[in-house]
Structure 1
Amino acid sequence: MEQTIFQHMETVRGITKEFIQQIPEEIADIVPEGFNNSIRWNFGHIAFIQERLVFAVLGEELGVPSNYEELFSAGTKPADWKVTPPSLADILFVLTEQTTRIREAIQGNINKTLPAPFTNRLGITFHTRGETFLFSFYHEAMHMEVIKRIYRAITVE
């Protein structure tokens, strides 16, 4: 079962990586009317939240650049950025490298119990690393849909 989960991670992340490579830098920071964030923010947010759901919930060190929390955590937005965000190529590198670290950290540890139950903003409570990891696939897919909607809004205008 563990191999199936890792294969699913590679499939989901493959879709994300393929799409980020199609986005021109010049449109990555546009926030169309009706949206709160940009394409760049959503890709960075995917990487940051995956770190939190796999590593931070166990009190482990995050493997993303230190400014990702300031730029891409829940509740942040590009309008408030005080530092230059990473390029899409830099985010792609983080997304690519992240899957290797996750596989190494989780292999054989998918049922590792969290130090304390973790309840997310939706009110869902998780008890194991595997539960938070599996939820991250839903989170990534949800933000990929937002990215596609932003892209359509930008390219139709």
Structure 2
Amino acid sequence: MSELLFKSYEVARGNFVKNVEALEESMVDVQPEGFNNTLHWHVGHVLTVAEQFMFGFPKKSTNLPVNYVEVFGNGTKPADWQGEVPSVQVLVEQLKEQLGRIKEIPVESFDAKLKTPFLGQETFGELTNFAIFHETLHLGQMQAMKRMIKAVQVK
């Protein structure tokens, strides 16, 4: 199962990064009507939540700045951003680096039971599968936002 999880993560992350790299700079910080966040936020959110799920960020992982939880964590929004926020380009590089770290996780880890079930997931492998689902869910949101932004820009 672990090889399938690695492959699934690689496919999901590859598509996510490809879509982000294709975004026009003029749209990444636009918040379309009816949406709570921006494309920029989604990129950082996917990175941050994956780090939380896969590496126990911020308590067990120092691969990302601690303030990412305050900027991109659940319940955050760009309207509340203060100070420096990493660019989409920086976040993309961190997404690529993170995938490399994910692929180095020992395969036996995926069978390990979580101390406390999380969102109905009982093993680390199930949590990994949920992280992949989370990433693709946000990619879908981003694609919808991109269409909305383009529609408004055309008018």
TM-score, structure 1 length as denominator?
A: 0.89
Deviation at 1:66, TM superposition (A): 2.0
Residue 147 of structure 2 is matched in structure 1 by 152
Alignment gaps of 5+ in structure 2: none
Percent pairwise identity: 33
Residue 121 of structure 1 is matched in structure 2 by none
- For residues 1-157 of structure 1, the aligned pairs below 5 Å read 1-56=1-56, 60-118=60-118, 124-157=119-152
| Change beyond 3 A, Cα 1:102–1:78 | same
Q: 1:28 touches 1:38 (CA, 8 Å); kept in 2?
A: yes
CA deviation string 1:58-113 (max 9, x = no partner): x6325222221111001000000012221111010111011111121243311122
| Change beyond 3 A, Cα 1:139–1:106 | farther
Letter in 1 for 2:87: S
Q: 1:111 touches 1:129 (CA, 8 Å); kept in 2?
A: yes
Partner of 2:111, secondary structure, is coil
Q: 1:112 touches 1:130 (CA, 8 Å); kept in 2?
A: yes
Letter in 2 for 1:130: G
Partner of 1:109, secondary structure, is helix
User: Which has the higher mean CA deviation after the structures are superposed, 86-95 or 102-111?
Assistant: 102-111
Q: 2:2 touches 2:125 (CA, 8 Å); kept in 1?
A: no
Q: 1:25 touches 1:87 (CA, 8 Å); kept in 2?
A: no
Partner of 1:105, secondary structure, is coil
Distance 1:106 1:33 in 2: 43
Distance 2:37 2:104 in 1: 32
User: Which has the higher mean CA deviation after the structures are superposed, 45-54 or 30-39?
Assistant: 45-54
Distance 1:45 1:69 in 2: 8
TM-score, structure 2 length as denominator?
A: 0.90
| Change beyond 3 A, Cα 1:106–1:44 | farther
